[in-house]
Structure 1
Amino acid sequence: MSEMNDLKDYLISLGASKVGFADVNGLANEFVDLPNGISLVLKLPLEAMEFLNEEDYESYWKCFHKQIDKLTEISLKGEEYIKKLGYDAFGLTMTRNECDMEKLLSILPYKTIATKSGMGWIGRSALLVTPEYGSAIALGGILTDMPLEFGTPITDSECDECTNCQDACPVNAINPQKWNDRLTRKDIIDIEACGEYIIEQYKAGLGCTKCMVECKITKEYLKKE
């Protein structure tokens, strides 16, 4: 698996904070038939979170989209790297993995690749939670047929009884039920209430990141930073 280890080192050298490998066979057939997924996790800088605390959303979104641009670059360079090894690959950029804003869902959710590769779990907020950075992250991915050693999927929430994100939700969209991979998203969050509010906020040039900011593990990460 030296090729795999070299690939992981390369992706981290490009700026990824965490890299994981998962079996996603059959999940991406809508646009490409490649069985293996690479999860790219990029921690958000302290600066971005400070903008949120100050409710300076314009500065936050500029900072956030810089991270998305960085993930796009990592995904495409990773795709090129894998192809040079003789395998097929497909970098999941925002353009390629188009998001339905009403459903707040990409064609292949990055969170799916992340949980299946062991990068984190789904919090009460329906955001991915990582043990290192909480929900203060941006996600990307690559699909490939390159042989990979998969991580151990996380199938149950590793949140404790904390309800910070639930208590912070301005539209009470978060249900008490903790996530596991046997549940659907509607079991843990009212996506219609959440989506309607978020879209209104975006139109006003604002945002809703209270569940991310209030996450206990996010707060622990920021204290360390």
Structure 2
Amino acid sequence: MDELKKFLLSQGASKVGYADVSGLADEFVDLPNGISLVLKLPKKAIEYVKNDDFEEYWSCFHAKVAELKEIALKGENFIKSEGYNAFALTMERNECNMEKLLSILPYKTIATKSGLGWIGRSALFVTPEYGSAVTLCGILTDMPLEFGTPITDSECDDCTNCQEACPVNAINPQKWNDRLNREDIIDIEACGEYIIDQYKNGLGCTKCMSECKLTQEYLKKEK
């Protein structure tokens, strides 16, 4: 294991992968290599969702986002100490557009290109180990990295748990592959409007995350 990956895992990341992201974001043309950071959500977070206790869920979720942000910033400093340029792609820096659920360079893109997982029917990132019970971040750099093998097709089976759990029927039957547009697998307008409305009222959704079959398998293993 290389020293950078070893460092990031030692700081608490659950999974780390490397990808070629050259040409994917004009703002970062000089930083063509992407580092995907995955942090699993604890079992209690999924239980909060299942119990509709969204105040506790969001508190737990945002704590994990903050934790992963610190790992990314430490990774940025580590890379710079090695003499390379780096930019931790934190949520604030990635300028996420909550109205359209868009960012400059989606974390999911770096993650799938790193070979850490794929996009589920729900358009959430899915890992074989944790299902979709994860939060993501990234680092961009010009440090030479050994890229993972990109995952370009869904590895979900015929499970439709997330589709059936969606309260606004936003999830289409079409499985993801990297040749499709996001709109081919999910009605992002219906999903976004519902999520934003729920969040404004102190509620939430994320049923697609908690009902994912692989998320459920992760919960059975997690103490």
Letter in structure 2 aligned against 1:151: G
Q: Does 1:78 align with 2:75?
A: yes
Quote the RMSD (CA, aligned, Å). 0.9
2:102 corresponds to 1:105? yes
Residue number in structure 1 paired with 2:178: 181
- Compute the TM-score of the two structures, normalised by the length of structure 2: 0.98
CA shift digits 1:67-126 (9 cap, x unpaired): 011111001100000001000000011110111111111111000000000010000000
Matched, 1:130 2:127: yes
Map residues 19-38 of structure 1 onto 2, 5 A cutoff: 19-31=16-28, 33-38=30-35
Task: Render the CA deviation track for 1:127-185: whole Å, top value 9, x for unaligned.
Answer: 00000000000000000000000000000000001110001111010011000000000
User: Which aligned segments of 4 or more residues in structure 1 are displaced greater than 3 angstroms?
Assistant: none
Matches of 1:50 and 1:178, distance apart in 2: 27
Amino acid at match of 1:126: A
* Residue 10 in structure 1 maps to residue 7 in structure 2: yes
C-alpha displacement of 1:31: 4.9
| Residues 1:65 and 2:79 are matched in the alignment | no
Aligned residues: 222
Which amino acid in 2 is paired with 1:170?
Answer: P
Gaps of 5+ in 1: none
User: Which letter maps to 1:175?
Assistant: N
Residue segments in structure 2 that go unaligned for 5+ positions in a row: none
8 Å CA contact retained: 1:17, 1:42: yes
Superposition deviation, residue 28 in structure 1: 2.5
For 1:138 and 1:215, the matched residues in 2 are separated by 15
Q: What is the CA-CA distance between 1:65 and the residue it aligns to?
A: 0.6
CA contact (8 A) 2:22 2:29 kept: no
1:167 to 164, 168, 172: 164
Identity %: 77
**Normalization by structure 1: what TM-score?**
0.97
